[in-house]
Structure 1
């Protein structure tokens, strides 16, 4: 299908319209970085640095051990870890062994672990000591044969490595002691042993799977997205060219966005190894720790999600910290409110732009330009090199003219092969190579794209189509609103009505009527929320995306309970 590409006229000369991709598999980039920058810091973690040579040697040693345990080409190995150095070692170790990585959320409970392990057919899992009890209980119901255990203290410098177990016991109330025997293995012991010989594995760059990345499962069960080496390398290469002012071997990337989420994996881990950037890792988001880390370690790049930037902007001691090292940020995972973008740029002096992507596209497809071009308010930007995009009619599936709302579809080398063992779901989502995103949006005459909302999140109230993002953008402009999400809740008269869930800033004193009056100044009457609920926090995914669906389900349960009582 031939489509017009009006966005290409906006590309600065530094960004090619089409790229050439190396045919090397993902793990080869660690080999390259270790040869070119052996002694350069690859990772900074809580005061300890690890060089590219060190990471490569440990990943190779782990890879040989995995092969010794029976991992061969195409076998799935799960990694259930936060952002710590061992995650990078494990990721590249699995790939060097010829395995397929299955990234697993450390927050998963036994039932969720069982589902993902069984669906993926994983033979082995690498996890954290405090997660060992949870994983070991799930193991008998899966095909897992071995479990490799590591601990945060193993990556810490002296004396933090001695102190941390006491902090961990106080925080989690448990101390886990795992013996290196039988089906249980300690990563520290593996890395102490003499290196075993690593068997060479041949890779097909185009076809071989590097990763099974599971979707969030906000509707139905999570699906395993099949991403090849080409998918991941293509997207990281696009990112490299999009951020053309970033210098190879010189940037520092703040790695808070989880690596078990494809956005963090591609734009922090894979890109950093490809470009020999230093990763400054934090295992979880804590605003004060993050502010201290930025001031001390001076990262230049900060990929994130809106909730991370909001959390920093609303810290009471924000003004005490120097964030001026931050030069470039691409925000993903959720819509970026304009107010947040402007405030963050004022504080840092850097650039923060909104991008767009999804697990099925490795993940990035669109972004605003960071430099040399004006950003368009409320837009997700334009497609990246080699990425085609179109808005398809909801009625006949044909492309619609600029300005008309339909479903966003994308086509490019970063688009998945399909869903693991789910041919029907694959057929519904991939049409002749085009990925149907499930997001409603439009393209303007200049080729800039806008998302109005998820197809499933659109509110239909009294026959009107209402897009939650538009309401949220307005309420975010209120000076006392910290976070907000709008959702459609059941209404006996209108079918659905708009409800706004609001987190206020500290010491704010705003009433429902205050917000109602504010909204009425900026929105048509049918879009104004009929119900407001103030909360201390909103439910979020591990990557910081607000779970609108969880709030809707909660509302439905309330109604069901009231109906039963009546």
Structure 2
């Protein structure tokens, strides 16, 4: 058995007094010694509650140091850390809890409404109340023996059928991604970042937070992105690297203070989560700031590529990192020539273990040691990779993955709607904006306000369409399938009949 090393404990011995985490809201600083001690106390508390190796521990929380305390506590007893998206509706949270069957659910008090107690078998606890008892308690003395293939984290991501899938990440996959990132991106203990991406996303946990903690750097947790505050915090905390989604960069560039702001400690700004508009490159280049895009997904890393930010090749994600493999293949599994488009495949120890209780889906994604991403890519003559599209209809809006089929199914249950198609249309700020095209039943009508309220009964606000268009007929292909490509390409077509549109709320993200 390949044993797992508790590297946080090792780091607490090597760098005990270095700052590991900073609470961006309160400026509380937590050293590596304190972080390891807190994790050990949470581990003791959970062990006393009867938590055993393999048990799932759900955490519903905005970005906060306690998320990492609980993450590392789980590693000390072999429990599986399951962070859930607090932006979802209570029914969606209920469904995920029912799927992963946790023994404990920790939630911030403001999310009490999401834990309705209908599911049996788990014990919900308010983080704030429990933490007071835990911090004054006992540290775990002996840790559970673990192998590298044991699960550490399970992150839920949407599926092509609309059903969320639990992506199981082993110690091997998480630690391989962290080590690969440290080596390939030349991270050191002098590096510091702010984690704005939510910790229920792989980007919030694995893109920068865990690699920087592994190498002994500093991670600042931020529970809300506000452009002006971000400018101040990046400089106040001496950040050297940061990952933001394109919508965040859009917000930064809209602030007049950004035009005059300097970031003396910053080595590079990273963009991920969605394709980044070319004008972002131009703005950062004009300010003399290093900028680059990355690519990843929950099932792999999410770090897979490296590019020298000084090269500034728009839309380019660079070359494979040191400890993973990439290739682009055609429908027969053969590598494509430079310039040709094919499916992107990823290989390496950082790949996920499998989908929770979904063996068929796991087998379809992992074949012969390669992850079939479903994303289309090309390679140029310099060996640099570009993502050019997605095989499936997933929408990425504001860094959130949104799957249209579940929205379509729900809309089609409305008594006024006959057919519908949900697509992502280009949007300067959000990358894509969720848009619904519907046809109505004879004599029926529906307003944008009504459609929005109806969707809010089922989904979190970030998922629901921002525009609702009534058209005479949903375009179809020759074989009768909905032709979403035609809708996207012709979204400026003349809308027949009355078009309705919900409000473009920006605070719903």
TM-score bucket (shorter structure): 0.7 to 0.9
Residues 1:311 and 2:251 are matched in the alignment:
yes
Residues 1:29 and 2:17 are matched in the alignment:
no
Deviation at 1:225, TM superposition (A): 0.9
Deviation at 1:81, TM superposition (A): 1.3
> What SS class does the counterpart of residue 212 from structure 2 fall into?
helix
Residues 1:359 and 2:306 are matched in the alignment:
no
Distance 2:140 2:59 in 1: 23
Deviation at 1:281, TM superposition (A): 1.7
Structure 2 equivalent of residue 232 of structure 1: 174
Residues 1:148 and 2:148 are matched in the alignment:
no
Alignment of 1:90-105 (within 5 A): 90-105=70-85
The 8 Å contact of residues 118 and 143 in structure 1, kept in 2 or not, is answered as no
Deviation at 1:318, TM superposition (A): 2.4
Distance 1:32 1:296 in 2: 28
Deviation at 1:330, TM superposition (A): 2.5
Structure 2 equivalent of residue 190 of structure 1: 134
> What SS class does the counterpart of residue 333 from structure 1 fall into?
coil
Distance 1:279 1:288 in 2: 19
**Change beyond 3 A, Cα 1:540–1:428:** farther
Distance 2:494 2:77 in 1: 55
Structure 1 equivalent of residue 22 of structure 2: 44
The 8 Å contact of residues 326 and 344 in structure 2, kept in 1 or not, is answered as yes
**Change beyond 3 A, Cα 1:211–1:336:** same
TM-score of the two chains, using structure 1 as the length reference: 0.70
**Change beyond 3 A, Cα 1:448–1:487:** farther
Distance 2:3 2:241 in 1: 25
Alignment of 1:128-527 (within 5 A): 128-135=108-115, 137=116, 139-144=117-122, 146-151=123-128, 186-193=130-137, 195=138, 197-205=140-148, 207-217=149-159, 219-244=161-186, 246-247=187-188, 249-319=189-259, 321-347=261-287, 349-370=288-309, 374-394=311-331, 396-457=332-393, 482-485=429-432, 492=475, 495-496=483-484
RMSD between superposed Cα atoms in Å: 3.0
**Change beyond 3 A, Cα 1:343–1:319:** closer
**Change beyond 3 A, Cα 1:322–1:537:** farther
Deviation at 1:125, TM superposition (A): 1.4
Distance 1:458 1:71 in 2: 37
> What SS class does the counterpart of residue 299 from structure 2 fall into?
helix
Structure 1 equivalent of residue 449 of structure 2: none
Distance 2:201 2:63 in 1: 11
Q: Which runs of 5+ in 1 are unaligned?
A: 1-22, 152-184, 460-467, 501-525, 543-566
Please say which of residues 434-443 and 449-458 is displaced more in the overlay. 449-458
Q: 1 or 2, which has the higher helix percentage?
A: 1
Distance 1:197 1:493 in 2: 61
Q: Which runs of 5+ in 2 are unaligned?
A: 396-422, 438-472, 478-482
The 8 Å contact of residues 63 and 198 in structure 1, kept in 2 or not, is answered as no
Distance 1:310 1:412 in 2: 34
**Change beyond 3 A, Cα 1:499–1:369:** farther
The 8 Å contact of residues 97 and 119 in structure 2, kept in 1 or not, is answered as no
Deviation at 1:378, TM superposition (A): 1.9
> What SS class does the counterpart of residue 357 from structure 1 fall into?
coil
Distance 2:507 2:272 in 1: 14
> What SS class does the counterpart of residue 197 from structure 2 fall into?
coil
Alignment deviations for residues 331-389 of structure 1 (CA, whole Å, 9 cap, x no partner)? 22111222212313434x43211111111102222232346xx3433222111123222
**Change beyond 3 A, Cα 1:356–1:539:** farther
Please say which of residues 63-72 and 98-107 is displaced more in the overlay. 98-107
> What SS class does the counterpart of residue 22 from structure 2 fall into?
strand
Deviation at 1:297, TM superposition (A): 2.2
> What SS class does the counterpart of residue 401 from structure 1 fall into?
coil
**Change beyond 3 A, Cα 1:198–1:405:** same
Alignment deviations for residues 62-110 of structure 1 (CA, whole Å, 9 cap, x no partner)? 1011011011111111121111111111111121122111121122322
Alignment deviations for residues 405-445 of structure 1 (CA, whole Å, 9 cap, x no partner)? 22111111111121110011112211112111111122223
Alignment of 1:510-549 (within 5 A): 530=493, 537=504
Residues 1:88 and 2:55 are matched in the alignment:
no
Deviation at 1:497, TM superposition (A): 5.9
**Change beyond 3 A, Cα 1:341–1:273:** same
The 8 Å contact of residues 328 and 377 in structure 2, kept in 1 or not, is answered as yes
> What SS class does the counterpart of residue 323 from structure 2 fall into?
coil
